[in-house]
């Protein structure tokens, strides 16, 4: 089984530069920026093999070709229920003619919240009808209702809880790879920076611990192969070959 981990495109919260005033400018469930929408389309075109071929030289001097026909077609596409992930997934699904499925456990660490003057305030996230209004063909779990999908009383999700969630997703993927059709699947997941870091550590048996970070740019792709033996092969990390240098964020 091949797993393609894709970070969402640039969101409104990603471009807040005033660290001191960050919390006052932050929104609980930000949409993509104009640059983010362009990034999402480019990663979709890349995954579909619709970009012009490009040649890059690696640090070892070897020449690598990317672009048209560079990746095999995904068989399944999943994303978190956060707005920026839903938006990033949309052009990918259209380019690959796939019906995306929302996998709630893929959401970012922290959940849907804001730091108010009175403390952390949780928000419910998009409701079922709000999601389906803009993302009509997405497959949603029953747990996304008209009350949203994040429990406001949960407030802020601690990183230790996120680690447990990452372990659960990693276990699900390992089990799926060992299933009857697992080795024929190519799965794409659109998720978030901190969760990607923890998911990769969970897959590579590096949790708990914060001595290593797997950082990802917006729409960067990481590929991990699951072998029939149960072993994993980390093929590449944080690939942004589909983006011109000025669009990497």
- Structurally, the chain folds into a number of domains equal to 1
pLDDT at 167: 97
pLDDT at 115: 84
Percent of the chain with pLDDT over 90: 75
The answer to whether the beta carbons of residues 125 and 143 sit under 8 Å apart is no
Between the alpha carbon of residue 100 and those of residues 35, 78, 135, 154, the distances in Å are 22, 5, 9, 27
The answer to whether the beta carbons of residues 153 and 123 sit under 8 Å apart is no
- How many CA atoms does the CB half-sphere of 73 hold within 13 Å? 9
The whole-model pTM stands at 0.90
Q: How many CB atoms lie within 10 A of CB 55?
A: 9
Q: Which residue range forms the structural domain that includes residue 84?
A: 2-247
* pLDDT tens column, 211-221: 889 999 999 99
> Which CATH number belongs to the domain containing residue 18 in this structure?
3.40.50.1240
**Spans in the chain with pLDDT lower than 50:** 67-69
Can you list the positions of beta strands (E) in 117-241?
119-122, 186-191, 221-226, 232-239
pLDDT at 67: 47
């Amino acid at each position: 089984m091949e797993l393609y981990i894709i970070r969402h495109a640039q969101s409104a919260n990603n471009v807040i530069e005033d660290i001191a005033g960050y919390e006052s400018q932050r929104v609980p469930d930000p949409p993509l920026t104009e640059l983010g929408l362009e990034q999402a389309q480019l990663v979709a075109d890349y995954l579909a093999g619709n970009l012009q071929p490009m040649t890059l030289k690696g640090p070892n001097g070897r020449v690598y070709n990317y672009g048209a026909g560079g990746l095999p077609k995904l068989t399944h596409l999943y994303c978190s229920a956060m707005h920026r992930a839903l938006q990033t997934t949309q052009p990918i699904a259209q380019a690959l003619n796939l019906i995306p499925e929302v996998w709630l456990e893929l959401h970012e660490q922290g959940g849907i919240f804001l730091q108010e003057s009175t403390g952390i305030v949780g928000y419910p996230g998009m409701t079922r009808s709000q999601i389906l209004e803009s993302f009509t063909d997405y497959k949603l779990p029953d747990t996304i209702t008209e009350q949203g999908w994040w429990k406001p009383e949960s407030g802020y999700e601690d990183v230790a809880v996120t680690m447990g969630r990452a372990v659960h997703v990693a276990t699900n993927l390992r089990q799926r790879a060992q299933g009857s059709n697992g080795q024929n699947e190519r799965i794409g997941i659109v998720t978030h920076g901190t969760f990607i870091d923890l998911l990769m550590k969970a897959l590579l048996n590096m949790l708990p611990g914060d001595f290593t970070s797997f950082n990802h740019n917006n729409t960067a792709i990481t590929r991990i192969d699951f072998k029939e033996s149960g072993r994993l092969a980390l093929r590449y990390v944080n690939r942004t070959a589909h983006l011109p240098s000025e669009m990497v964020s």
